Each structure stands twice: as C-alpha cells, then as structure tokens.
Chain A
C-alpha cells in the first residue's frame, strides 16, 4: 500500500493505493489519519479508487477514524468504493454506516450541504 494525502477546500483527502492488509502499511494509514485528527481537522474523505482490496484491519482503521471524528463533530466519508470493498461493507453491515460518493468532488461538495 502507498498513501498520498492532500487538502482540498478544507477537506483532507487520503488516497491509499494497493492492498490494505495490516502491518506497517496499514499503520501508515492509521497514523496519518490520526495525525490530521490531532491537528483538529474535521472533514475527511478516503478515496478508495486505487485500493484493490482491504481486510478487517483496513475496515478497523476507517471505522475507528469515523467514530472518533463523529464524537468530535467531524466527519469521514468514502469516495470511489470499488466492487470488492463494497461487498465487504455489505457483508459486515457497514455500508449503512458510511456515506459514500461516486467521486471525491461529490464527497467534498457534500460537506457544504
């Protein structure tokens, strides 16, 4: 997994690429997410376009960020959920928990509504 991050219109966009399977790569995503949360950033989009698959470690990181932010008036949303990850979200009943958008721009836009 590789990770890039950027800020667009006040929203932190995290773009992991590859497979989120645990170990040092997954820690990178966790640590980056929490680094921004500690900087008091409130709006996050995780762009999953280039994530081939993830496992419970990846889901755990995203859900943890989601709940931490929700408890402090922040929000974490998903963009470009691929088929494999969508079916994982369905299996684990998390698809009803996350707001998911077909593009990063739509996800960012949704923070203004």
Chain B
C-alpha cells in the first residue's frame, strides 16, 4: 500500500477506500488543533468520509492510479474543506431525495443529503483536472 502524501493542510491519497482512515485521522487532528468541539468534529468527519467515498467510487470510479486530495483551512469562524477527484462531477441539485417514500429503504443515496444536513454549505465545481467539492461549517 502506498503512503498518503501530506503537505501542510492537504492530504493526497491513491483512489482507494483503504485510505479513509488516513484521511479521517488527518482531518480530525487538524480540527482538534482548531479547538473544534467533539460534536462538530464528528459532523465534519462524517461529511468528509461521505465525499471521499464518492470521489473514489463515483468520481474516480475506483481506478487506483487516480488520486483524491483533501484540504482543510479555517477562514474566520468557518472550517473550509476542499475534496478533489479526477472525475466528471455531478449536480447536487439533481440527486433524488432519500426521504421520498420510494427511496426510504434503499441501501444507498443518502451521502450528499447527509453532508448537506451536517454542513452549512456544499458546492461542486469543475476544475481542469476533474471536480472539486467545497464544504463549509462555522465552528464556535
């Protein structure tokens, strides 16, 4: 297994779910350094795990020669996290509502909905190399 590359507040990993825990340790460590409370740390960590799962599975379609990068910063009272993959992206407005009767008991389709519920904002942008997803949450 290759090692994650860490540069300042950015971690870059091969596109595999094996690295979810590396990313989680990295993000939670930095959040603790920001003085974030446990509940907000969990909300942010859950959201990052959702987006990394998606970048690996949907964005990079699990090809391990691609990478996923996660950066974290604090701007004013906001924690700002950017997740990048090399896929074609998606429109978060187009995702079907997991609360609809027909979707309620499905095995999947809740990730982005959960991120939107736990974070203050979610934004998806096309980049030269793929897709970047920016999430923000104000912390005390």
Task: Assess whether B98 is in contact with A21, with CB atoms less than 8 Å apart.
Answer: no
Task: Assess whether B24 is in contact with A92, with CB atoms less than 8 Å apart.
Answer: no
Inter-chain contact count A-B, CB under 8 Å? 69
Verify if B53 is at the interface (C-beta below 8 Å from A): yes
CB distance from A100 to the nearest CB of B (A): 16
Task: Assess whether A63 is in contact with B105, with CB atoms less than 8 Å apart.
Answer: yes
CB distance from B92 to the nearest CB of A (A): 14
Task: Assess whether B53 is in contact with A55, with CB atoms less than 8 Å apart.
Answer: yes
Interface residue count for A (Cβ, 8 Å)?
Answer: 26
Q: Roughly how many angstroms separate A28 CA and B53 CA in the complex, as a whole number?
A: 16
Which chain B residues border A24 with CB–CB below 8 Å? 17-18
Which chain B residues border A93 with CB–CB below 8 Å? 99, 104
Task: Assess whether A55 is in contact with B50, with CB atoms less than 8 Å apart.
Answer: yes
Chain B interface secondary structure, helix, strand, loop or mixed? Answer: helix
Verify if B30 is at the interface (C-beta below 8 Å from A): no
Verify if B26 is at the interface (C-beta below 8 Å from A): no
- Chain B 1-41 per-residue mask, 1 if CB under 8 angstroms from chain A, else 0: 00000000000000001101100100000000000000100
Task: Assess whether A92 is in contact with B18, with CB atoms less than 8 Å apart.
Answer: no
Known: A53-B42, A53-B46. A60 touches B105 (CB 8 A): no
Which chain B residues border A23 with CB–CB below 8 Å? 17-18, 20-21
Residue in A19, A24, A54, A55 with the greatest tally of chain B CB atoms within 10 Å: A55
Considering only residues 52-85 of chain A, those with a C-beta below 8 Å from chain B are 52-57, 59-61, 63-64, 66-67, 84
